[in-house]
Amino acid sequence: MLPAIVRSLWLSSSSVSHTHRLPGLALGACVVRTLCTPHGHGDPDVHRHSVKYAVEQCEKRLAEQNIPEPDLSARHMMAHILNGKSLHHVHSRQKTILTDAQLQEYRKMAERRLERTPVPYIIGEWDFRYLTLSLRPPVLIPRPETEELVQHVLQDLKTIPTSSSTRGVEGSDTDSSADTGSSADTGSSADTDSSADTGSSADTGSLHCLDIGCGSGAISLSLLHECPEVSVSAVDINTAAVDLTRHNAARLNFENRLDVVHCSAAELAERFPAQMFDVVVSNPPYIPTGDMPGLEKELNYEDQFALDGGEDGLDVVKDILACSAHLLKPGRSLWLEVDSRQPPVIEEYVARHPDCNLEWLASHTDFQERPRFCHLRRRWS
């Protein structure tokens, strides 16, 4: 199973079901005081400096303010205080007595949540599949749905022959061929030379992928981690995202297989040679502009250009569709994560624009059974 999806399901509750979102967590000054001050009632065995007491007080105030899933929000912050990597770490240390410094740090985290700062920005990191990535605003926070997008790409890469006789893809335990729209979803994979990469410093892999809108590097770095035959070119229009991807690549020792480029989707055909990539993948901006005012307040901290996809949500998607045939080797795949309303629109768009030289293969649903992932292929001619 996908590791971080299970830990991150709490991120997906929202009245705006088709967008990316984070739950709110608002704490007042009284909450900050209660983290260290007992009420004089309740379990007498609960020490006022214990993990259990601090978390319970935080959860209580969040619930009083109708914050979604307050227990998970408070425990994620406490897990960071305890240098733990899971919520079980908090549960197993409920009787641990926090130091004054730890209480002060928890207090500061609560103050930031009062301002609706998302938890990943507060703790400065977030798990994505098998990696822990550094995060800082305004770079987009990776969502659990995107872990599934990576899984589909990994399965697709397994169908492409390489110079090695064997290839292991770690954690690839789901079958992406079970699509919702087509039985011909694995594409064709045998007639082109996947080793003919040119023009990139990321040249140690025999398969070459392009990640459009790399953000924190979540997609790129997961592909590098789980498929040793891959090298990746990652692009983003936001310099903060370019810098963060490079930072995460350095932390995880993937610099020699990753080339990070600052450019827009509209510039890709000018920046990369023709037929360079085996797979193009993107989680682009796809929220329609009219939906932006209804998003949760936490998303105000994230790069709005990484969210707003224009009037129909497809401005950047159309740029990607226009250049993908230039970028891809014949018969190779384009994978997109989009709004659940958009796959049929994209399928129709490709059918009406044969100049894109792309063939629609299928759409796939996410773990909430919403159609989110589009699989297309560059035509052979």
Domains of the chain listed by start with CATH number:
25-115 (no CATH), 127-378 (3.40.50.150)
Q: Which residues contact 136 (CB under 8 A, 6 or more apart)?
A: 121, 124, 240, 244
Tell me how many degrees the CA angle 152-381-358 measures, rounded to the nearest 5: 40
Q: Which two tokens stand for residue 163?
A: 């110079």
Cα–Cα distance between 156 and 141 in angstroms, integer?
25
Torsion of CA 44, 50, 51, 57, to 10 degrees: 60
| Residues of the chain predicted below pLDDT 50 | 1-3, 5-34, 36-41, 165-201, 203
pLDDT recorded at residue 305? 95
Per-residue pLDDT at 163: 61
CA distance 237 to 215: 9
The model's pTM is: 0.80
C-alpha dist (Å) from residue 323 to 137, 261, 344, 376: 29, 16, 20, 13
| Tokens encoding 125 | 């990191």
Residue 204's pLDDT is: 55
Per DSSP, the chain holds a count of helices (H) and strands (E) of: 13, 9
